[in-house]
Amino acid sequence: MRFLKALLVAVTLAGIPAGFASAAPVPLRDFFKNPAEVSHSLSPDGQWIAYRAPYERRLNIFVRPVKGGEAKRITSETARDIAGFAWKGNDRLIYAKDFGGDENFHIVSVDRNGEGLKDLTPFEKVRAGIVDDLKDHPTDMLISHNKRDAKVFDVYRVNIATGDSKMVAENPGNIVGWLTDHDGKVRVATTTDGVNTSLLYREAEDQPFKTVLTTNFRENVNPEFFTFDNKKLYAISNRGRDKAAVVIFDPATAKEEVIYERQDVDVSSVSYSRKRKVLTASRYVTWKSDYHFFDKEVEALFRDVQAKLPGYEVAIASWNKNEDVFIVGGVNDKTRGKRYLYDTKTKAMTQIADVSPWLVESQLADMKPIQYKSRDGLTIHGYLTLPKGVAAKNLPVVVNPHGGPWYRDNWGFNPEVQFLANRGYAVFQMNFRGSTGYGRKFWEASFKQWGKTMQDDVTDGVQWLIKEGIADPKRIAIYGGSYGGYTTLAGITFTPDLYAAAVDYVGVSNLFTFLNTIPPYWKPYLDMFHEMVGHPEKDKALLTSASPALHADKIKTPLFIAQGAKDPRVNKDESDQMVAAMKKRGVEVEYLVKDNEGHGFRNEENRFEFYEAMEKFLKKHVGT
């Protein structure tokens, strides 16, 4: 009911009265500069807080005592932000770093005092990840990487202090995922032949894997973790149903027991208490994130924090081994929020950080849910963010389709959205067909529909904005990244009269070259890509008709393209050939390339340059 009420409120946005004072301009760099502090994490003993904060314009790891005292910077990365980190015991931390955006992440360990730095995967052109941090082992963890074969990932037991490594699971060539039990034993694997996915299981590490279930990729049984007796699996599954549910999967029989499901949306995750060995909660998203609680203790904690932070979504970010001290946060559509220490014994909540204190909530805009019908009858959900204090009538609009495309937009703080709204644009985001979370049928409706019905969903949303009187039809721009960049190019190619300006950020332009340049570790999924996007030979006509670079003669909309030179997902050639096609016609296109970036700009100075250029470009062609 809350969801329905919210939608009813949303579709009356055009009736918002004028007369409110519009928001003062916020400096562009305030939206896009690195946070003051972020990613706060408690050590297992609860005595230390680690977090990322800027040093030399890059996010590095700092550690400070919970009881107060000076923070110590323990890393000194100056080329790229540290992508993420985790505690390994109370005295050491693990972090990931890549090089120029190539996504070949190395796993690095460092002492809490900043000494003993050790690259655990010091290999060129190799991508590494953590399989299990082995919380109960003082020095070892399980790491996967593709050094032996660029297409597949093996599992190694690595000593984080010495870097000594021993393979514990060799990939035969088709395994795309590994899972350990609660004792850190590798006992589950998932395989793919490109179209069919199999779940492999073994009783012990000295036994061979056996296939217990094979499904077409349209049906997903994603194991999350073992039951607490290490005999069955908790999984997220849409097997035999439209919406993904939380199930207990029995590897002996391949049967499922559904323990939580919804009829409206997928359930996306399930969590548990390591200390008490109970399920705690499952997350799902309607227009906002919400939770189903299995555990009264965690629900009580959540409700208490929620009461202390009215108007915010509660995020439980970290906790100590004893699970009596937590780091919690409150976020919404207008702020990255603050972070607090929460003591379950006293229920005291103490602020430890403000992520971006220079952004003032009262100056920023509300993100409201909307819905509309596609031309073939699908209900499309999305979000509309209006400039603060401005009537929802005849506004310049930036249409902002998400990337993926098998992803979805969510309600929450988005610096791009807030920046554009602050500059006077209405920002329109839509979860077109194929967006995740709405069930299998809605997802499958996107197969082989790039530039077709997926694009129609975007176009139909724009027409809805025009019909409602919200959009000025002469001042509509489109901007997106990755698949959103493809949608941007497709929009100005296949509906050339709809948009007054376009910004393509690391977007696909030619479906043939895109499919031929995917990273080697995506090769096992290539047949699936062919079913979902199209086959270069069998679907040649389809892919030709849907590739903007092959129809650049239709484009008359001013275009700005931004690209990272080291992008492993959308090769730089995708942008190069689009620019070349435009220039061949004598049409100038603005082109920004960064040699030290990949799939999106991560370095602060590059973000500033991109958004400053985009601001000027939009103002010139759409204007506020």
Catalytic residues, by residue number, are: 482, 567, 599
Q: With contact defined as beta carbons under 8 Å apart, do 288 and 275 qualify?
A: no
Q: What is the DSSP letter of 95?
A: E
By three-state DSSP, how is residue 302 classified?
helix
Q: Give the 3-state secondary structure of 320-340.
A: CCCCCEEEEEEEECCEEEEEE
Q: With contact defined as beta carbons under 8 Å apart, do 220 and 238 qualify?
A: yes
Q: Does residue 438 come out as left (phi exceeding 0), alpha (psi in the -120 to 50 range) or beta?
A: alpha
Q: How far apart are CA 419 and CA 95, in angstroms?
A: 31
**CA angle (197 as vertex; 195, 200 as ends), nearest 5:** 155
By three-state DSSP, how is residue 578 classified?
helix
Q: Kindly give the residue spans of alpha helices, DSSP state H, lying in 221-341.
A: 296-308
Q: How far apart are CA 437 and CA 408, in angstroms?
A: 7
Q: How far is CA 126 from CA 100, 398, 517, 566, in A?
A: 14, 38, 17, 14
Tokens of 430: 């839509």
> Which H/E stretch holds residue 349?
strand 349-354
Q: How far apart are CA 522 and CA 434, in angstroms?
A: 20
129 residue type, one letter = G
Q: How far apart are CA 133 and CA 624, in angstroms?
A: 51
Q: With contact defined as beta carbons under 8 Å apart, do 98 and 105 qualify?
A: yes
Q: Count of residues for the chain?
A: 624
Q: How far apart are CA 333 and CA 325, in angstroms?
A: 27
CA nearest to 171, candidates 158, 157, 152: 152
**CA angle (50 as vertex; 47, 53 as ends), nearest 5:** 150
Q: Does residue 584 come out as left (phi exceeding 0), alpha (psi in the -120 to 50 range) or beta?
A: alpha
Q: How far apart are CA 11 and CA 22, in angstroms?
A: 21
Tokens of 425: 């644009």
Strands (E), 19-57: 38-42, 48-55
Q: How far apart are CA 305 and CA 289, in angstroms?
A: 16
To the nearest 10°, report the CA torsion of 20, 23, 24, 27.
Answer: -170
CA nearest to 102, candidates 592, 549, 521, 404: 521
> How would you list the strands of the sheet with 106-111, edge to edge?
84-88, 92-97, 106-111, 118-119
To the nearest 10°, report the CA torsion of 448, 454, 459, 465.
Answer: 170
Sequence-distant (≥ 6) Cβ neighbours of residue 250 within 8 angstroms = 232, 256, 257
Give residue for tokens 């393209």. 561
Tokens of 27: 């400096």
Q: For strand 426-431 and strand 395-399, is the pairing parallel, antiparallel, or unpaired?
A: parallel
